[in-house]
Structure 1
Amino acid sequence: MRKKIFIAKYLGMLSKLVAKPVFEKNIGSINDAKNIRAQSQIFEGMSSQKIELNFSIHEAERLEKIFICLGALNFSNVYLWVENSIDCGLLKIDSLASINVEYLLGSADWGIMGLLSEDMKDYLLLEINEYDDGLKVGLDAKGANWGAIDFSHIQ
């Protein structure tokens, strides 16, 4: 029932996030989403690497470089989690490089996003944080590969 309520908005957001049309046939089942979410609990309490970027299109090049570096550490496909993923199903993308960083840093529509490698070895949480000096995107990387990244070397 919830899927019927949210699916149109959800597919629209996913289409913007990957800069190409996403259709219902492109997302997995709700049962798969629930099973994958349960499996992803292995990242709870795991140490992580964190960074905050200004919520600005000017940070797009740096975020693209971060995604490329993370992708080079784990070549697995990636599950993309956003609001209503548990109600509608997960979109699996080829890599972090599939994400439209211009939309990501130009719109607060997506709120919180989780990116989970298909091999269940790595997880990246992105969330918008508000401070006195403006919005920032927090990145929190966990896992066998992504948890070891040193964000300070990526400029």
Structure 2
Amino acid sequence: MALWDRFKESAATMQTQLMAKKNDLKSGSFRDASMAMCALVAAADGSVDPAERQRVASLIATNEVLRNFPAEDLQRRFDDYLNKLTADFAFGKVGVLQEVGKARKKPVEARAVIQIGIVIGGADGDFDKTEQAVVREACFALDLPPHEFDL
């Protein structure tokens, strides 16, 4: 099986796992960490073009698990994190990873945040090395082993 086919299968499995836990994923720390993760993936290469920003915002709005929260609230948080990253990527990344790390207290939420990052990263058909690297860093912020997610 080709690498991309394995990844698509893995992303679909992760989305299914997220749906199974949807009722457990309603806390503010999960909401904030998820939006921070989405911003990290969107800005993984150090910049975000308007089309990419819109694509990720659309994915956030249509993700069934994230529908636990008001769409405009998610959009505002995503934009805030993305603005921090685009203003100064290195400095912004430190703060955004700290936000991701707040979900570490609840293992179900921590794993769900990583799964959302992988689903968002692969939605365009290319979960590239820079996206994988920021998701791997998020694993460390959440005290999760990256190999658990094939990273």
TM-score of the aligned structures, taking structure 2 as reference length: 0.31
Q: Which has the higher strand share?
A: 1
Q: Which has the higher contact order (CA 8 A, sep 6+)?
A: 2
TM-score of the aligned structures, taking structure 1 as reference length: 0.31
Q: Which has the higher helix share?
A: 2
